[in-house]
Amino acid sequence: MNQIIVRNLDDEIMQRLKQIAWQEGRPPEEMARNLLVDAVLARTTRRMVRELETHG
């Protein structure tokens, strides 16, 4: 397993992350991991779609 440390994360963002995690009954670490995975996959998907549109 790989790890990263996110420094200088705004307190407001951390509070929102904790709130969302609490609402879904998950630990904040799991929520952050899932959000990061979703963001990377979405970006990759958008890039692939643009390439298909450009190159047919």
State the pTM of this model: 0.74
Contacts 24+ apart (CB under 8 A), 28-36: 32/6
31 in Cβ contact with 24 (< 8 Å): yes
Please give the chain's pLDDT, 56 residues, in tens.
899 999 999 999 999 999 999 999 999 999 999 999 999 999 999 888 888 888 86
The domain spans of the chain are: 26-56
H/E stretch holding 1: none
Which residue carries 């899932």 as its tokens? 34
Q: Which three-class secondary structure state does DSSP give residue 25? A: coil
